[in-house]
Structure 1
Amino acid sequence: MSRPSEARPVRVANCSGYHGDPAFEMYRQATLGDVDFITGDYLAEVNLANNAQAWRNGKHPGYEPTAWDGLRQTIDVIAQKGIRVVINGGALDPKALAIKVEALVSEKNLKLRVAYLSGDDLYPALGPNMPTTKEKLRHLDSVNTSTVPAELTYAFLDNGGVPVPMVSAHAYLGARGIVDGLRQGADIIICGRVADASPVIAAAWFWHDWSDTNYDELAGSLIAGHLIECSAYVTGGNFAGFDKYELDNLVAPGFPIAEIATNGSCVIAKHPGTDGFINVDTIRCQFLYELQGNTYLNSDVSAHIADVRVEKVGEDRVSVSGIRGSPPPSTTKCAVFYQGGYEAQLLLNATGYGTAKKWDLLERQLRHFIPVETMNDLETLEFQRVGVPAQNPCSQLESTTYLRVFITSRNEKTVAVVAKAMGNISLKHFSGFHASLDMRTAIPRPFLAYYPAMIKQSDINETINFIDGFDKIPSFGTGHPPRYEELGIRDNYDPKNPQMYTCNTRQMRLGDIALGRSGDKGGNLNVGFFPTNPAHWPWLQGYLTRERMRQLLGKDWHDSFFIERVEFPHIHAVHFVVYGVLGRGVSSSSRLDGFGKGFLDYVRDKFVEVPVDIL
């Protein structure tokens, strides 16, 4: 399919938000209507690390199986309809998947050109061990002098002089390499760790023939990519307002399409007849997801999003505009994982009367029976009380809560000793003690620790490679952005002129007033809120200050945390980043909600005092 002369909006359909999304969604996006591009995001930050060692030992194919299955199911339609495909399902080995796809193309005698993008894997340059000083590989948040690193951020530096093995290191690539491949005739481009939105940016960049300095347009397409990259998250999945809709319509929501215009603005839609829904609220929720302030960064452009506007333009059609762009920073993110040691958890139940004292006793007993030398060798020992018994319960389940004892150490035997200490408690336990099934969760298992690093874009050798037969792979370097613009201090402010209310108040749940979304950025938690009724915005804007967020965190607050706050006035939203609350983040967070997805609804469940005049 060639680019149309009238430069109509390009229709980009996303088929995957992570590796577990069903492969058939690619086929559905290709067959349920007309689209120009299919993109897919298969990679969470830990995907690559989980398989890296096995792949290097020849025991894993390197790519994501659902990416291959989707292409295998859809390849005939792709060829017939002239759809271009850009996915990051190549994961650790995009070349291997590209060769497999080329073999399928050849077998079916289809006229499709396959390419893959390389350059994101920096393990050969940065590994095989973690650095011995902070300066050799700077932490992503080190530029923010207001933040204090979480306690275990630099745990790899304190290992008794023994090198800590690095498992993987992948830079987040932008869109320019993909665009080069499209301009040279690629129909299918297999990527590794490109940024989640990069395939969508590349589709619009190529389609509209932008230059790499069309920053406003590139920034708009970046936000379009941000909105559809998580598949059903914008069509009803993970939607805070779901309870106001028919549940049957949310069982299997259709996946989204971004129609990106030549000026970079977009309309988010989906194929007619698919389940789920797209409205202003689902767009606002997804927009607020995994932000870090009011500047959204990519390797090709910095998107300034404070003036974003969202408007319904039809059934399941919402326009997004108001995004401005500027040159990208000279650095980009590099997700580094290393062997963190061993972890285990004990899940213990208590029923009913006197639960708080029961857990007090259990914690004292366990600490008593853990040897002193074991305690000194632990990195983490947390006693997390999960749930509160119902008052006057109607069943034993309503009366039951559990304690999660979370343990980590560099030493496997140390972790095992903590679990074994439970045996010393034996019949000394509190009244009503019981455990779920057995103690298999207490077996120590290795875990990967996460370290988000910052590297220079000029150190990346990004290359587009074409599979022309199996004995020839022509490769082309894709260069670097023509300009960089370093970021200043991030915006962080409370409401400038909050509206004051002197009337009586009514106590109600914050969730009866506001929707939103929360998530993670490594060790940081981000959360945004907006009112469903525009008349409630002045109150919400003034109520949700940085100090209020500290209060809402409750017992989860620690003085080492740091809060940033910004506003998006045109969509009536307040957004916070809480630095450090998720520890090292991703696979190495000790929190039960290690990705921060549940935090929004925890806060929405709190009672707040709302002025009666606005109700």
Structure 2
Amino acid sequence: MLRVANCSGFYGDRLSAAREMVEGGPIDVLTGDWLAELTMLILAGNRLKGRPGYAPTFLRQLEEVLGTCLERGIKIVSNAGGLDPAGCAGAVTELAARLGLPVRVAHVTGDDLTGHDLGGAPNADTGEPLPAPALTVNAYLGGRPIAAALSAGADVVVTGRVTDAALVTGPGIWRYGWGPDDLDALAGSVVAGHVIECGCQATGGNYAFFGEVPDLARCGFPLVELEADGSSVVTKHPGTGGLVSVGTVTAQLLYEIGSPRYLGPDVVARFDTIRLEQEGPDRVRVSGVRGEAPPDTLKVAVNYLAGYRNTMTLVLTGLDIEAKARLAEEAIWSRVPKESFDEVHVELTPLAGTALLRVTVMDADRRRAGRAFSSAVVETGLASYPGFYGLTPPGDASPYGVYWPTLVPAETVRARVWLDGRELPAAPDTSDVPRASGLPEVTSTRGTNGGEREGEGARRDGRGEDHDEDETVRVALGAIVGARSGDKGGNANLGVWVGGAERFEWLEGYLTVERLAELLPFTAGLEVERFELPNLLALNFVVHGLLGRGVAASPRLDAQAKALGEELRAGLADIPRRLL
């Protein structure tokens, strides 16, 4: 088996994780994911300010473990190269020289498509053409360039924009020699990569049933024991906090996905074929994953600067919350007309005995969205609702960007692999991979809080004819349902699961698209897709447009939809007593 350990789930994750994973037990490959969708925009901002276009925190972690990794033959693979993988590789070489360590450093390029003809870059979700010049343009590459670098003798491989799972798929191809037709094995490695890509989220972090997780404050990072057929065991180092269970792995499998057909540049992994089994304490076996030929397009992440934004947050307390919110808005817009801004978003968030009123304005004119707005809000302070106070002082507007997903023909993208500053002559070409066009859709339920769909009416109450007399108890849905949610561009995903076939039969009938809108009213009117994953006893909902134009531009308090699942679990449901 190949032991692949993760030491970073995002730019800003625990700095001690690399040392913990190297010293905590035997591993063969150390990986780290630094590139969320928002990160490329952050790195672009850094680059404009004269800072590195890669993640310097990677170098801080590397300094602690590089010598040990070379001694033990542990390979290091990371996407921390961001917008400048060559610069990051050069920094690694300089670090190694300072430490007196002989190291072979590879980096992967070809993902940067700046200047390429994107054909108008239609948005992959909405079809709209790109409305502004691009700041960054990066295709999602796969694992084969990483495998080529490792096969050429690299000790450290630094990439730019690759899929998160490629950090595991690449080492798998290197170790086992999988070809493009080894679809099931490749798909299994993609699933393994998806499980560990977000660090401690696979070992009990952010877990709905967190009371089950021991010593979460010292949660260990995950690793996978990847086998030649693509199956794997998810585990963690002994003596670390956290939990690896079917539940924690299921939760991460449902994170930031759409259809059960999980598309990637190396393979399409069928998440509706995954089998999970608790093999032992903190050991979950993942098997049965089927793969299909990848699509003939590659996803491209485009970022552009869209203007300036400013947010003021007011606190409303006690009685008449909604009336106070209306009064606050009237006072604000009497001083700065609402229609003077390109966009305005108002969000009232109820809390225990109080509420937050967030008013966000967006405009191409920095001055209009700056102190002209925030000072006007403060000026209403003595002529507004009782108990007025704010959480934000008057301040200037800040620039914001938009994440824009689009697609390009895979044959137009060529990955390039460099080792010790020299390009490898036979870098893998994406055109070598057999690809499928017009992938069939996975059956889903779509709706916008409309009427019943065919076949749903008979099961709206989640019981069915045999259980009409079942006694129900009105309790929080989270009494039996786990959930995890996240962002995918302007959309949000919400995965829910239960333990046991009987509970899933109830959930499958109860939690329709319409019911979701009842429990989460702000999803009403939005297009929502529901996908069924009975192998995981789970459903996945994709809420289109909930996050507007993506995380960086979203004015929602929960801009990444991280808490969407917990909001759902807090909703009341009539659950059969027998399931409790």
User: Fold-level match, TM-score > 0.5?
Assistant: yes
Aligned residue type for 2:482: L
> Per-residue displacement from partner, 1:247-290 (whole Å, max 9, x unpaired)?
xx011211001111111111000111111111111011001101
1:485 corresponds to 2:436: yes
Deviation at 1:88, TM superposition (A): 0.4
C-alpha separation in 1, matches of 2:534 and 2:121: 37
* Partner-residue secondary structure (3-state), 1:251: helix
Deviation at 1:473, TM superposition (A): 5.3
Match of residue 439, structure 1, among 393, 412, 417 = 393
Match of residue 518, structure 1, among 480, 485, 489 = 485
Partner of 2:574: 609
1:404 corresponds to 2:362: no
Deviation at 1:28, TM superposition (A): 1.6
Partner of 1:429: 384
Contact in 2 for aligned 1:352/1:389 (Cα 8 Å): no
- Residues 465 and 232 of structure 1, relative CA distance in 2, 3 Å threshold: same
- Residues 74 and 541 of structure 1, relative CA distance in 2, 3 Å threshold: same
Contact in 2 for aligned 1:336/1:453 (Cα 8 Å): yes
Aligned residues: 562
1:586 corresponds to 2:538: no
Structure 1 portions without partners, runs of 5+: 1-8, 143-148, 158-163, 391-399
Partner of 2:199: 231
Partner of 1:346: 312
1:454 corresponds to 2:454: no
Deviation at 1:18, TM superposition (A): 0.8
Q: Summarize the alignment of residues 191-206 of structure 1 with structure 2, pairs less than 5 Å apart.
A: 191-206=159-174
- The percentage of counterpart residues that share the same residue type is 34
C-alpha separation in 1, matches of 2:183 and 2:301: 26
Partner of 1:393: none
Partner of 1:387: 350
C-alpha separation in 2, matches of 1:191 and 1:424: 50
C-alpha separation in 2, matches of 1:377 and 1:434: 25
C-alpha separation in 1, matches of 2:352 and 2:497: 31
1:546 corresponds to 2:497: no
Match of residue 69, structure 1, among 60, 63, 70 = 60
Contact in 2 for aligned 1:344/1:445 (Cα 8 Å): yes
C-alpha separation in 2, matches of 1:350 and 1:551: 25
Contact in 1 for aligned 2:381/2:388 (Cα 8 Å): no
C-alpha separation in 2, matches of 1:110 and 1:354: 67
Deviation at 1:31, TM superposition (A): 1.6
- Residues 516 and 388 of structure 1, relative CA distance in 2, 3 Å threshold: closer
1:313 corresponds to 2:297: no
Contact in 1 for aligned 2:444/2:532 (Cα 8 Å): no
Deviation at 1:534, TM superposition (A): 4.3
Partner of 1:161: none
C-alpha separation in 1, matches of 2:378 and 2:540: 47
Contact in 2 for aligned 1:467/1:474 (Cα 8 Å): no
Partner of 2:89: 98
* Partner-residue secondary structure (3-state), 1:272: coil
1:571 corresponds to 2:536: yes
* Partner-residue secondary structure (3-state), 1:404: strand
* Partner-residue secondary structure (3-state), 1:48: helix
Partner of 1:329: 295
Partner of 1:262: 228
Q: Summarize the alignment of residues 147-166 of structure 1 with structure 2, pairs less than 5 Å apart.
A: 157=131, 164-166=132-134
C-alpha separation in 1, matches of 2:578 and 2:216: 35
TM-score of the superposed pair, with normalisation by structure 2:
0.92
> Per-residue displacement from partner, 1:67-116 (whole Å, max 9, x unpaired)?
11111111111111001111001111111121222233345554432110
C-alpha separation in 2, matches of 1:41 and 1:612: 43
Aligned residue type for 2:250: R
Aligned residue type for 2:553: S
> Per-residue displacement from partner, 1:289-315 (whole Å, max 9, x unpaired)?
011110111111011111211110011
Partner of 1:173: 141
C-alpha separation in 1, matches of 2:124 and 2:37: 14
C-alpha separation in 2, matches of 1:540 and 1:10: 37
C-alpha separation in 1, matches of 2:96 and 2:317: 60
Partner of 2:450: none
C-alpha separation in 2, matches of 1:407 and 1:71: 41
Bigger mean CA deviation after superposition, 102-111 or 513-522: 102-111
C-alpha separation in 1, matches of 2:378 and 2:232: 60
C-alpha separation in 1, matches of 2:323 and 2:541: 35
C-alpha separation in 2, matches of 1:97 and 1:577: 36
Bigger mean CA deviation after superposition, 409-418 or 290-299: 409-418
Contact in 1 for aligned 2:483/2:494 (Cα 8 Å): yes
Contact in 1 for aligned 2:109/2:417 (Cα 8 Å): yes
> Per-residue displacement from partner, 1:148-176 (whole Å, max 9, x unpaired)?
x7xxx76x63xxxxxx3422111111111
* Partner-residue secondary structure (3-state), 2:103: coil
Bigger mean CA deviation after superposition, 599-608 or 65-74: 65-74
* Partner-residue secondary structure (3-state), 1:124: coil
C-alpha separation in 1, matches of 2:268 and 2:357: 44
Deviation at 1:611, TM superposition (A): 2.0
Partner of 1:394: none
Bigger mean CA deviation after superposition, 23-32 or 79-88: 23-32
* Partner-residue secondary structure (3-state), 1:123: coil
* Partner-residue secondary structure (3-state), 1:38: strand
> Per-residue displacement from partner, 1:24-53 (whole Å, max 9, x unpaired)?
211221121111111110111121222325
Deviation at 1:401, TM superposition (A): 2.4
C-alpha separation in 2, matches of 1:224 and 1:558: 35
